[in-house]
Structures are given as structure tokens and as C-alpha cells.
Structure 1
Amino acid sequence: MKRLKYLILFFGLFFIILRIAILIFRLPTYNISTNGKLYIISKLSEDVQVFNLSTGEEIKEIPIDMLSYEAVATSDNQNIVLTNYGSDIDFDLKIIDTKLNKVKKRIDLKENIKVNGIVQYPEPNKVAVVDYVTNKLLVLNIETENVEKEIKTNQKKSHLAVFHPKKAIAYTTNINSGTVSVIDLNTDKVIKIISCGIGRKGIDITPDGSELWVTNTKENEITVIDTKTNKVIHTIISGNESLKLKFSVDGKYCLVVNATDGTIDVFNQQSKEKVKTIMLHGKTTIIEKLLYHTPRPVNILMHPNGKYAFVSNSNANKIEVIDMKTFKIVSTIGTGDVPDALAFIQ
């Protein structure tokens, strides 16, 4: 009986120590300082966290009452625009005033318009969104709430978009068609459909506009497209469930988040070779699996100064901060439940 009491006491103390250790290891540790504010959109908690990157403090938590996957800052830094992906009833956007840090407007899109992808437009009062029901690229004026352009992608389940940095050209990924639509924004017409394989999702373009890189979550590949010829010039093997990718500010590297693997791959843009795989805590050893959440990187944003990349680790409720010189995680930011979309304001 005495021995049993000692065993119970021992395991009780062990369990308490283990729980304390887990809590300590899972605590976010932000220990850098850089300029700007990071807006973190957490899906399940349906809120936006405003984080001061200079002081390392949360400025505000903004309830948005919607399940949002994508967000973008307007070109004048006055607004954050969020798309609503989680409701079969509400077809809307919400606008956050970045000076007051509160929702200032809800835009009802109506007419069964259901958007996910969103892109910053050159004009400060406009954004471009991708409607995956009617498969169109829409240019929306957030002041007048009018859709000023409706351009058909001519494909199925159009998802995300990116603009050419020097030409009036837009590109959309089309998941079910396995393609990229090339859209001339002067004529408002598709000028090319590029076949890439079923499951096209993430998309980004090099800062000089020469190459378009697109992820394929079904085949675990990255398709490289020459934007002059609109032809596939290379295929890169990626990790499992490569959701998003983003080029460094100088264009030398492309970072790809592999959700199932819990990793971020770093590729050299010119050679197309992988130079590093960044492992997030939680999958490498038994102890790590015990102490950390299973990692799931789902989104990525580059700081405009080129020094840092921010990665949404949705299972761990953290933002992982990557040093772009060493490609190492140097800080973490605690978030709401299931962080995903990110936006930056100077």
C-alpha cells in the first residue's frame, strides 16, 4: 500500500512537471525589433491581432465574426481588406481601418459572388478578388462598393491571384482545372491558359516579373513559368502539401511552406535548387513531439525590408519569424486559434 502511494505521488509529480515543461516550451518568444505592424488573421477565433514588430507587443485584437483565409493591405496602408471564406450565406468583405484598428465597413457582394484570393491594387481605394464560384477576377472599389471589372478566368475553381510588377497582367490559379489564367488588364480578357497539373494553389511572381512560381498540392510540385513566353520552363519537387510560396524581396530565394511536413523549403531562384529546409518544432524527435504542437505552416509573408519572413503555424497558434540571412527561426508570436492570413502596415 505504501509503495502504491509513492508510485501515485511520483507519477503525479511527473505529470505536473511535464505539463509545466510543455507550457514553457510552447510559449512564444519574440526577441527581435523591426519596423511596422503585423496583422494576423486567425480563422477559428475569428479575429485579427495587431502586433507591433518594434516593441513586440500586441496593440489590439479586433473581432471580425467571419472565417477569413486571405487579407491584403491597400496601397496607401489605410485599410486591411479581408475575404470571407467560411460561410455559405454571407458573401462579403470586411475593411479594417489601420489608424483606428477597428472594422469600419462590411461590403455585401451579393449575386452569389464567393471570393477567397485577394490582391492589392495600384489605386488605394481598390482591391482585386478572385471569385471561385463564377470563376472571375473582380476589381472592387471599396469606397463606392462597386465591382468595376468582372473578368472571366475561363477555368474552374479559380483561387488565388498575383499581379505582374511591371505590366498590366494578372495571373490566377485554377485548382480544379489545374491551370494558370493569364489576364490582360487593359483588354480585360484571358490571353493564355497555362496547364500545370491538378491542384494548383499558391502563386507568386519574382520582383522583376520574369518568372511565375505555382504550387501543386496534389502532386507536390512547383511549376516555374516564363512570363515572356507564358510557358512552363521547369518543374521542382516540393514537400507534402505545399500551400503557399513567397519570393524574398531581392528575388534571390523562394520560400515554400509544406503544411503536412511541417517545413519551409528555401529554393534558389536562379538554379532552382533547394538550399535549405527549415524544420518547425514538433516533428523531428519523440521529445519534440511531446513538448510541441504538430506544426502546420500554411501562409507566408515577407517583411518589405527583406530581413524577415513571417510564417503562420496554424496548429501551434504561432507566427514563426525567419531570419532571411541565416534561414533560421529567430522569434515566435503567439496568436489566436488557427492563424492563417497575414498583412503588413508600415
Structure 2
Amino acid sequence: MKRLKYFLLFFGVLFFLFRVAIFIVRLPSYSIKTNGKLYIVNKVSECVQVFDLNSGKEIGKISIDMLSHEAVKTADEHKIVLTDFGDTDKHIIKTINTKTNRLEKEQIFIKKVYGNGIIALPEKEKVAVIDYVSNELIVINIENDSIEKQISTEQEKSHLAVLHPNKPIAYVTNINSNSISVIDLTLNKVIKIIVCGLGRKGIDITPDGTELWVTNINENLITVINTTNYQITNKLRSGNESLKLSFSVDGKFCFVANATDGTISIFNQQTKKNIKTIYLHGKTTFFERILYHTPRPVNILMHPNGLYAFVSNSNANKIEVIDMKTFKIVSTIGTGKVPDAMVFIN
């Protein structure tokens, strides 16, 4: 009987130490110092976390009471605007004041706005929301709560968008139509439909505006499009379930988040070659699978100083910080449940 007690005690202590080891290994570790504040949208926690990138401390947490996974800052950086993807009854967007770090207003529209993607426009009071039900790009004035434009994408299940850096042109991904709508915001109409593969998802444009790169989750491909003639120039093999992608500040590299693989693919923009794959902790070895959460990178944000990239690891409730010189993970930031969108404010 004593042997059984010692045996159970021994394995009880081992199990306790094992759980402690897992807890310690999974703790976030932030060791860098850089400028600015990072606003992290935690989808399931329904809050926005404000993290000071210099002190390495959380300096605010804003309850938004809605399921949001897309957010942008206005042109003057005074506000962050979030869409509500989860509540199909309220049809709202919400704004956060970046000076006070408080929720500023909730805008409910008579027209049903099923907001998903959102982009900031050059005018500080305007954003454009992509409605995935009406399949429209909707220009909203957040100062007077008015809808100024409704432009049809002419496609189905419109999703995300990016704005040309030098021209009044928006590019919208359409999941069900497997296409990109090119919308002239001066003419207020679609000027081109680009058919380019199955399951259009993430989109970004080179800093000089010459190329669009679009993820293709049903084919695990990246489609590269010339913005002058709208021709597809390359199709690049990516990882499984490539969701979002983002160009480095200098435009030399494109980072792609492969959600199912738990990896980040890094492509050279000029050569179109995959020069490195970063593996997030949790899938590489047997022991990693035991010690870490299964990684799921879903979003990428580049620091304006070009030194760091931030990756939302939604399963692990962390932001992974990548050094842009070494392409290695150098820090992690603990978050709420299921981090997704991120916004940088100087």
C-alpha cells in the first residue's frame, strides 16, 4: 500500500512539474525596445489591447463588445476604426481615440452594412468598408456618420481591400468569384475585373504601387498582378491556408502567413523566390507539440521603421515579433483570446 502511495505521489509530482514547465515555456517574453504603440484586436475577448513597444508594457485595454478582426487608423492617426464581423443585426463600426485610448463612438447605420475589410482613405475623416453581403465598397464619413458612396464590386463575397499608394484606386478581393475588383474612386465604378484563382483572400500592394500580391487559400498560391496592365505575371507556391500577407517597408520582401502550417513564408519581391520559412513554435518537433499551443498565424503588420514585423498567432494568444535583419523571432507579446488585426500608432 505504501509503495502505491509513493508511486502515485511520484507521478503526481512529475505531472505538476510538467504543467509548470508548460506554463513557463508558454509565457510571452518581450525584450526589444522600439517606438510607438501597438493596438491588438483580440477577436474572442472582444477587446483592443494597447501595448507600449518601448517599455514592453500593456498600457490599456479597451472593451469593444463586438467580434472584430479588421481595423485601420485614420490618415491623421487620431482614430482607429473597427468593423463588426460578428453581429449581423447592428451593422456598426466603432472608433477608438488614440490620444485617450477610449472607445469614442459607435455608428449604427440604417442601411445594413455587413462590414469585413476596411481601408483608410487620404481624408482623415473617411474610411472605406467592404460589405460582403451587398458586395459594395462603402465610403463612410466617420465625423458626421454618413455614407457618402456605395460602389458595387460586381462580384460575389467581396472580402478585403488595399488602396493604391499614389492613385485613387482600390483593389478588392472576391472570394466566391475568385477575382479582384479594380475600383476607381473618382469615377465611382469598377474599371477592371481580374480573374485569378480559387479563394481570393489577403491582398497587399508594393510600396511603389507596381504590383498586387494576393493569397489564394484554395490553391495555396500567391498571385502576382501588374497594376499597369492588370496582367498576372507570376503564381508562387505558398504554405497551407495562406491568409494575410504584407510587404516590408522598403518593398524588398513579402511576408505570408500560412495558418495551417504555422509558418511565415518570406518572398523576395524582385526574384519572386521563397528565401526563408519561419516556423512558429508548436509544430516542428514532438516536444514542441507537447509544450506549445498549435501555432496559427493569421495577420502581419510591419513596423514603419522597417526593423520589425508583428505576427498574430491566434491559437497561442501571442504576437510574434520578427527581426527584419535576421528573419528570426526575437520577442513575443501576450494577448487576449484570438488576436487578429493590429494597428501601429506613433
Same-fold status (TM-score > 0.5) = yes
> What is the one-letter code of the residue matched to 2:228?
K
In structure 2, what is the equivalent of residue 299 of structure 1?
299
C-alpha separation in 2, matches of 1:209 and 1:10 = 63
Could you list the runs of 5+ residues in structure 1 that have no partner in the other structure? Answer: none
8 Å CA contact retained: 1:40, 1:340 = yes
Tell me the secondary structure at the aligned position of residue 228 of structure 2.
coil
In structure 1, what is the equivalent of residue 337 of structure 2?
337
In structure 2, what is the equivalent of residue 195 of structure 1?
195
C-alpha separation in 2, matches of 1:95 and 1:214 = 28
Shift of the alpha carbon at 1:109?
A: 2.6
In structure 1, what is the equivalent of residue 61 of structure 2?
61
- Residue 9, structure 1, aligned to residue 15, structure 2: no
In structure 1, what is the equivalent of residue 244 of structure 2?
244
In structure 2, what is the equivalent of residue 170 of structure 1?
170
Shift of the alpha carbon at 1:285?
A: 0.9
In structure 1, what is the equivalent of residue 80 of structure 2?
80
Shift of the alpha carbon at 1:138?
A: 1.1
Shift of the alpha carbon at 1:307?
A: 0.5
In structure 2, what is the equivalent of residue 182 of structure 1?
182
CA deviations over 1:96-120 (Å, ceiling 9, x no partner): 0011111110011332220110111
CA deviations over 1:238-293 (Å, ceiling 9, x no partner): 10000000000000000000000000000000111000000000001111111110
In structure 2, what is the equivalent of residue 257 of structure 1?
257
C-alpha separation in 2, matches of 1:61 and 1:11 = 40
C-alpha separation in 1, matches of 2:299 and 2:110 = 28
8 Å CA contact retained: 1:161, 1:173 = yes
> What is the one-letter code of the residue matched to 2:43?
K
CA deviations over 1:195-245 (Å, ceiling 9, x no partner): 012210100000000100000111111000000001111100110000000
Shift of the alpha carbon at 1:167?
A: 1.2
CA deviations over 1:282-313 (Å, ceiling 9, x no partner): 00111111111000000110000110000000
In structure 2, what is the equivalent of residue 327 of structure 1?
327
C-alpha separation in 2, matches of 1:302 and 1:23 = 29
Tell me the secondary structure at the aligned position of residue 65 of structure 1.
coil
> What is the one-letter code of the residue matched to 2:23?
L
Could you list the runs of 5+ residues in structure 2 that have no partner in the other structure? Answer: none
In structure 1, what is the equivalent of residue 286 of structure 2?
286
8 Å CA contact retained: 1:93, 1:107 = yes
C-alpha separation in 2, matches of 1:285 and 1:32 = 27
Aligned length: 346
Q: How does 1:225-244 map to 2 (within 5 A)?
A: 225-244=225-244
In structure 2, what is the equivalent of residue 130 of structure 1?
130
Provide TM-score, normalisation by structure 1.
0.99
Tell me the secondary structure at the aligned position of residue 278 of structure 2.
strand
In structure 2, what is the equivalent of residue 274 of structure 1?
274
CA deviations over 1:166-202 (Å, ceiling 9, x no partner): 1111100000000000111110111110001221010
- Residue 43, structure 1, aligned to residue 74, structure 2: no
C-alpha separation in 2, matches of 1:83 and 1:184 = 23
8 Å CA contact retained: 1:27, 1:334 = yes
In structure 1, what is the equivalent of residue 33 of structure 2?
33
C-alpha separation in 1, matches of 2:124 and 2:239 = 37
C-alpha separation in 2, matches of 1:141 and 1:88 = 21
In structure 2, what is the equivalent of residue 160 of structure 1?
160
Tell me the secondary structure at the aligned position of residue 305 of structure 2.
coil
In structure 2, what is the equivalent of residue 121 of structure 1?
121
8 Å CA contact retained: 1:112, 1:133 = no
C-alpha separation in 2, matches of 1:30 and 1:156 = 42
Shift of the alpha carbon at 1:88?
A: 2.0
C-alpha separation in 1, matches of 2:3 and 2:145 = 73
Percentage of matched positions with identical amino acids: 65
C-alpha separation in 2, matches of 1:111 and 1:73 = 24
Tell me the secondary structure at the aligned position of residue 265 of structure 1.
strand
Tell me the secondary structure at the aligned position of residue 272 of structure 2.
coil
> What is the one-letter code of the residue matched to 2:264?
I
In structure 2, what is the equivalent of residue 111 of structure 1?
111
Across the aligned residues of Structure 1 and Structure 2, the Cα RMSD in angstroms comes to 0.7
Shift of the alpha carbon at 1:2?
A: 2.5
In structure 2, what is the equivalent of residue 206 of structure 1?
206
- Residue 22, structure 1, aligned to residue 49, structure 2: no
Shift of the alpha carbon at 1:4?
A: 1.5
C-alpha separation in 2, matches of 1:292 and 1:249 = 31
C-alpha separation in 2, matches of 1:57 and 1:200 = 37
In structure 2, what is the equivalent of residue 224 of structure 1?
224
